[in-house]
């Protein structure tokens, strides 16, 4: 203002008024150009995993850093608010948090490294390397929420994808860009099957999201199940069960974001997410922590909204772009058909493959229950002859299954029912078709040819 006063001495009052107005207008403009600094806040309450802050004004999804008594910063994300109070979920361990701790707002969207620099690497939900392979050198960053895609711009699923598994290639053919559920209880061969697909699938890049598994299982998958060759074209995102629910949820988004970055380069990506159930449970924990009322089996409504939001990001891209074919494992214990996540997944995915414990117990792997599984895109990706052969196979399986008890107690007599006789005679060969060693590959062509041969059909297309 002192120079304004100097002006006053030099100029008349009229001119002064003009000069003042001009200066005011210019300074206002400058204030509008610069984003208002976000006010800092204080930690006021902590219940379980939920932190309550006062003073910050961040939107849901916004990030902040909390000053701990250890002198470190703990990242946290806004998950809700009530009046002046903001609810946050921590990204890391809840250590060194004291009442009144300073909370600094951070730059908006979280970005993670994406693209080829990640191939062969294992990272966590924050995009940090876990494999001791040094820092990930790339300038390519993407926000984990993804970007909306016009559903009408998507290329429809029309081409089969060779996944190297005979039962899938032959009977439950997978299409490029399809999203499939893999429903199974624990210990029935999910991880082994996913591992076989990483080795044998005709995809350019494989992204594996290991969400909410035990640490031991994560290690086993990376070091025993993946082999050296497939690891070179694979990116693993690992978020074990002991990590915060926020990170378990983010792990699924991060894997999807990485898959999208390769799809946008025109590549064909296989995305394997193990498991969708743990992602949903992470979302459930967050919803419960901020007081959202549960709807079905403790899952609140927002959880069911998150599932389609996640799986809609996979699939085919625009014309000329690449694809994301995705498998989401869903924990289905016993015959619990009422599990709301199983129901919801079945509704939003383009098919499901069921692994059955009874089958695993007989020692036939992969323990795929063909009758209970369906690929909704099969008719669009295979020839009518192939579809017909698969239908015939299913028919023989179900005839046998309907009479299994009769056969088991020795009440089956040959000659009474020709259809059953055929199903019984064929059964060992059908079972042999479905069985596949963990190191064996069955190409799409071989799977189809063997199916036709088995059923005594001309080896057509």
Q: Are strands 268-274 and 205-211 parallel, antiparallel or unpaired?
A: parallel
Shortest reach from residue 251's CB to Mg ion, in Å: 15
455 touches ligand ADP (CB under 6 A): no
* Binding residue for ligand ADP, selected from 87, 279, 299, 365, defined by CB under 6 A: 365
Site string for ligand ADP, 171-210 (x = CB under 6 A): -------------x-xxxxxxx------------------
DSSP 8-state class, residue 55 = S
Number of residues that bind Mg ion (CB under 5 A): 2
User: Which residue number places its CB atom closest to Mg ion?
Assistant: 191
CB distance 123 to 129 below 8 Å: yes
User: At how many degrees (to 10) do helices 245-263 and 276-289 cross?
Assistant: 130
Show contacts with ligand ADP in window 43-102 (CB under 6 A): none
* Binding residue for Mg ion, selected from 50, 68, 178, 191, defined by CB under 5 A: 191
Could you give the 3-state DSSP secondary structure of residue 283? helix
User: At how many degrees (to 10) do helices 444-454 and 418-434 cross?
Assistant: 160
215 touches ligand ADP (CB under 6 A): no
Tokens in use for 255?
A: 């894997």
Show contacts with ligand ADP in window 378-437 (CB under 6 A): 437
Interior/surface letters 180-199, b for 16+ CB within 10 angstroms, e for the rest:
bbbbbbeebbbbbbbbbbbb
Between 247 and 368, name the residue whose CB sits nearer to ligand ADP.
368
For tokens 């902040």, name the residue.
64
366 touches ligand ADP (CB under 6 A): yes
Could you give the 3-state DSSP secondary structure of residue 355? strand
Of 276, 269, 242, 270, nearest in space to 124 by CA: 242
Shortest reach from residue 423's CB to ligand ADP, in Å: 25
Among ligand ADP, Mg ion, none, the one that 94 touches (CB under a kind-dependent 5 to 8 A) is none
Among ligand ADP, Mg ion, none, the one that 267 touches (CB under a kind-dependent 5 to 8 A) is none
Shortest reach from residue 201's CB to Mg ion, in Å: 18
Q: Are strands 63-67 and 374-375 parallel, antiparallel or unpaired?
A: unpaired
**Site residues (CB under 6 A) for ligand ADP?**
184, 186-192, 365-366, 437-438
Q: List contacts with Mg ion (CB under 5 A).
A: 190-191
């Amino acid at each position: 203002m002192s120079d304004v006063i100097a002006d006053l001495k030099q100029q008349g009052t009229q001119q002064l008024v003009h000069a003042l107005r001009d200066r005011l207008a210019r300074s206002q403009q400058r204030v509008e150009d610069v984003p208002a600094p976000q006010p800092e806040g204080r930690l006021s309450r902590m219940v379980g995993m939920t932190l309550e802050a006062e003073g910050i004004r961040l939107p849901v999804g916004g990030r902040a850093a909390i000053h701990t008594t250890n002198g470190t910063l703990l990242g946290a994300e806004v998950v809700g608010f009530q009046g002046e109070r903001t609810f946050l979920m921590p990204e890391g361990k809840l250590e060194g948090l004291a009442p009144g701790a300073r909370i600094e707002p951070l730059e908006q969207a979280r970005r993670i490294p994406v693209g080829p620099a990640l191939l062969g690497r294992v990272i966590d939900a924050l995009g940090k390397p876990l494999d001791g392979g040094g820092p990930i050198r790339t300038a390519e960053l993407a926000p984990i929420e993804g970007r909306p895609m016009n559903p009408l711009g998507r290329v429809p699923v029309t081409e089969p994808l060779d996944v190297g598994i005979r039962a899938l290639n032959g009977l439950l053919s997978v299409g490029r860009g399809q999203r499939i559920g893999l429903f199974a209880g624990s210990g029935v061969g999910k991880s082994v099957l996913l591992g076989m697909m990483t080795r044998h699938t005709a995809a350019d890049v494989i992204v594996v999201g290991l969400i909410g598994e035990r640490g031991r299982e994560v290690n086993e998958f990376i070091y025993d199940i993946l082999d050296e060759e497939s690891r070179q074209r694979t990116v693993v995102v690992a978020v074990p069960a002991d990590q915060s629910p926020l990170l378990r949820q983010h792990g699924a988004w991060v894997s999807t974001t990485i898959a999208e970055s390769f799809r946008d380069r025109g590549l064909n990506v296989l995305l394997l997410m193990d498991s969708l159930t743990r992602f949903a449970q992470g979302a459930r924990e967050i919803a419960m922590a901020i007081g959202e009322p549960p709807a079905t089996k403790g899952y609140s409504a927002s959880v069911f909204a998150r599932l389609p939001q996640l799986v809609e990001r996979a699939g085919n891209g625009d014309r000329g772009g690449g694809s994301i074919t995705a498998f989401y494992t869903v924990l289905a214990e016993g015959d619990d058909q009422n599990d709301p996540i199983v129901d919801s997944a079945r509704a939003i995915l383009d098919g499901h493959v069921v692994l059955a414990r009874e089958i695993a117990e007989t020692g036939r792997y992969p323990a795929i229950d063909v009758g209970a599984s369906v690929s909704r895109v099969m008719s669009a990706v295979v020839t009518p002859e192939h579809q017909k052969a698969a239908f015939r196979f299913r028919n023989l399986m179900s005839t046998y299954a309907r009479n299994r008890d009769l056969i088991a107690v020795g009440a089956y007599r040959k000659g009474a029912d020709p259809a059953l006789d055929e199903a019984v005679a064929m059964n060992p060969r059908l079972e042999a078709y479905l069985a596949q060693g963990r190191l064996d590959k069955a190409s799409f062509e071989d799977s189809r040819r063997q199916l036709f041969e088995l059923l005594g059909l001309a080896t057509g297309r």
